[in-house]
Structure 1
Amino acid sequence: MADYAKTAAGVLAGVGGEENVQSLVHCATRLRFVLKDESKADTAAVKATPGVVTVAQAGGQYQVVIGNDVPDVFAEIGKASGLGTAGHTATPAEDAPKGNLFNRFISMISSIFTPVLWALAGTGLLKAFLAAAATFGWIATDTTTYTVLYALSDAFINFLPMALALTAARYFAANEWTALAIAGALVYPTITGLVGAEGLTFFGIPFTMVSYVSSVIPIIVIVWLQSHAEKFLYAKLPGAIKRFVTPMIVVLVAVPLVFVVVGPISDLIGGWLGGGIGWVFEHAPWAGGAIMGGLWQVFVIFGLHWGLVPLFTLEFQTTGQIALLGPVFAAVLAQAAAVAGVWLRARNKSLKSLAAPATLSGFLAGITEPAIYGINLPLKRPFAFGIVGGAIGGAIIAIGGVFSTSFVVPSGLALPALFGNGNMVMLGIGLLVAIVVPFLLTTIVGFTEPAEDETVAAEANDVAVLSPLDGTVVPLSETPDAAFADGSLGQGVAIKPRSGAVYAPFDATVVAAFPTGHAIGLRHADGAELLIHIGIDTVKLNGEHFDLKVTSGQRVQAGELLLTFDGDAIERAGYDLTTPVIITNPDLYPEVGTPASGPIAHGDPLYFAVAVESAIPAK
């Protein structure tokens, strides 16, 4: 197994240490250093480092070719140094999302939540079991044992902004500890005590304090702004003071910005939303139920649900019941049912193992964060199916005039709060629809499942690779880049494009959709991994003249459009468009069959990736 830490340490020492690095990014196959003094780099030592393929010096960059494992080596360099972190002059990592706004949002949320999902799932499951124990009288809620267990199960989601501050800081390359200081202020006990208070001001500026407990969007937005502020301040402040003055300024500006701007805006939007839904419930209950049942989880994602809480309390104070809460049960159970469908249908082992506790915590305790952020929203379809089921179920429940007699967290175990209040037949039908519809849609219609990373097929088969481009096939040796030309990065051919479109060369999973659009990595079901690298050094264009059409994890069919590019503009910018099309896992596919030559159209046979007799576990 590759020792990425050893490779990282050898490379870092070979380039002259962290102090000799001005910036560091990585692309599909190589670490791209900009060194302060290239004469201090020991190229022979870098080349001799285990895991390094070769070294190329071009375009002002010191390029260390690693191959498929470059993200892992890059990550280890980040652990051992300050390279790529806040305060360093490195450019943003190239694995940030690109595409339409919705896909970018989902990719961002997924990336930020991934590190915390297991803790969310585990504590949510604990809370579900604790709620069940209290419901069935197995534990008394007035005991210190219950208090301790409740704190264990509720603390993580209560202080979720602090966890997200760390993951968002890593995603946006901001200082983690400054982000944690900002999040700590949002959930500081004295601050949370101001929620609902009147007459609040900050240096004479009036503001409304809303609850940031368990919130998601505010901390992500402010950490994104923090990352930009830090880059500006590190560039402008003198070196002697920037390390401690920067976090002071950032915290001093960011936290009041949340209180004075984000809070009032969310409160205003939430108030409009709450008033509108209240009006709809009064005049057309079925429509109000559909909105609450279908969109409640969307409101939660953006923190807008807080605008509805005052309506809940006001309704309860004036009537002793909460009609708006009934359809929310449908919304919660619908998302739990959708993730249950993922649990049943998924073949990906890691996806199934996360879906299991997410299903239980969603149904029992109403803790849907692991389901939504870890599974349903990234997979898109299950989240949409949950919205459909919740909307229909919520409408039926509202038509039945069902209401709650207490303010509870909607969940399976909290259903007794609805019993005997309104038409119980309609409640039963509504809940059944809310559960069955998304479950069946998820299991029957399905979803695009991410590839299993741990292993490849036990038997590897030869794979036919079709041409992804219209152009002219040339030997790989004619590629004007030594690392590609000598086959160090993999076997294959190169194509000189005559049009600006790249198509899938076989049915595959997209394993690397680089946001710069200059390269894309694909994995065939039989394990063959293929890299299409548009031009040489085109990563420097930073996405200009490229338009990526797919995202990482997406399944594509042979002939499906992957990306487009403006070849004329790229060549005018001084870049060679020769495009290597190579197999990058030689342990399974050590050679390619006789390739095509000369003019070729996309979809024509290009070559066969020849497999070894039996596959071995993937790295």
Structure 2
Amino acid sequence: MDYSKTAAGVLKGVGGEENVQSLVHCATRLRFVIKDDAKIDKAGVKATPGVITTAEAGGQYQVVIGNDVPEVYAEIAKISGLGKAGEATGAQDRPKGNLFNRFIAMISAIFTPLLWALAGTGLLKAFLAAAVTFGWIDTATTTYVVLNALSDAFINFLPLALAFTAARYFKANEFTSFAIAAALLYPTITPLVGAPDLTFFGIPFTMVSYVSSVIPIIVIVWLQSHAERFLYAKLPGSIRRFVTPMIVVLLGVPFVFLVVGPLSAIVGGWLGSGIGWVFSTVPWLGGAIMGGLWQVFVIFGLHWGLVPLFTLEFQTTGQILLIGPVFAAVLAQAAAVAGVWVRARNKNLKSLAAPATLSGFLAGITEPAIYGINLPLKRPFAFGIVGGALGGAIIAIGGVYSTAFVVPSGLALPALFGNGNMLLLALGLAVAIAVPFLLTVIVGFKEPAEDATIAAEATDVEVLSPLDGTVVALTEIPDAAFADGSLGQGVAIQPRSGAVYAPFDGTVVAAFPTGHAIGLRHADGAELLIHIGIDTVKLGGEHFALKVTSGQEVKAGDLLVEFDGDAIERAGYNLITPVIITNPDLYPEVGSAAAGPIAHGETLFFAGAVERVLAGK
């Protein structure tokens, strides 16, 4: 995937930076809060290379990228003011609408930055637990003590991490939030859990455990954000910066101990008991719902509402029953797409199904399988739901649970080993995999036939001269990589003036900060590199003045870069400028190239397109 191209295409499709209120990402999706939905080019976003599909849920416009979403997110941050690394959506930027949508958006924003660290350490804890179960490591050794600490610490001190992400969401002071969370987990406080006759200035209270807790820190940070805004408005400027956190901590921590903590413990106990009751009384029903509908929840972004339930169940019971059937749901969709891989005759479909199968089975990332293949083909997705429901029911009947928060996948299966009936776990997983795979292979699906593909002849692209100068052949460039055409086909220009202009209408996909080179993409897909001089990157931007930014739309003739040619040559650099096509897979030929003197805006050459074959829908 060309991350910069995907980022620029998505940002343009959603109406540009000015139409985006906020942006975060989760494991597989870019999550936009849009100002004006009418300005979104939905077809354009879906057609952007690298985009699997789009969805609208939880008050967000979601662009599904898959495993590479962090890289695309980072590229958007480079070309815009959106997406500061690690920051969650601000509360004032959250989607308006019903409370449910706002709750889902809040949970998504607060938990997303923690997800991979939580999943990674959870996976390590799962492997450690499996090692103990199979007798590979002795719990009495210091090796076990160290491994257990580094795998268990993050979930143990989860309130500290949530303090930061919640503070970012509610726009509270992060370090004041950290101080509150640290007080909840302070070494002299945790031994008070369950102790009798506790008082605070004569007020009796019950100390509950805040280890791995979720609700108390989120609630108190929300209250903190309102208190800080009030105090900053009322206190004199000379004292408010240190008096505000003092007052917030002094009032906030006791309020958690006296009110928020006990209430959240009661609510958490009810939820934990309720989950336990369902999975002990009618386990097959709970398992079938989680296994069958989990991927449906994912499609609508509703699965985020269940993440706090996982952590609440873990805090109150030390185990997570809910997560076992989710393994069936994930592996069932992976098995369905594996069936597509085996049965499909369409080469394009097979090439999509192969990596989607591996991603689903190994990493538990099913979006490429669901959106790219199973949902469009309909039957494989339905078969996956059936397999997930059956497998989830069997796993739940076996009382299988996890002792760590993990992302359900093949690699994370050790989290379930030794916890419940292993025979039913194996049977449930086998059913979850075998049923959708066999149904997909035997019953089949309606696939796009090879002869149903749509052949579209890409048009040749006229490239105007970006410079005033003299056209020379690439072979005359004193740089082997340019001269032999390995970096792309085109021509070179010996400049006679110090300005570079846009050679066509298009998008700036790479504006190097040094100004020595610029990459452009034509609306028809041709990509062009203009490299001013040879080895001029070594000047570090000296003598260059960049006039555009990455992601910017330009018209033919727009000024892109100004440079001082005389100063560059005095510094010992050759000014000869390659102008080359960098995506020869679509534009392999350069024809009708000009020769001799040329002015900017005159035809330089035509990029000859090949036939592009697009899979029909």
Q: TM-score by structure 2 length?
A: 0.44
Larger radius of gyration: 2
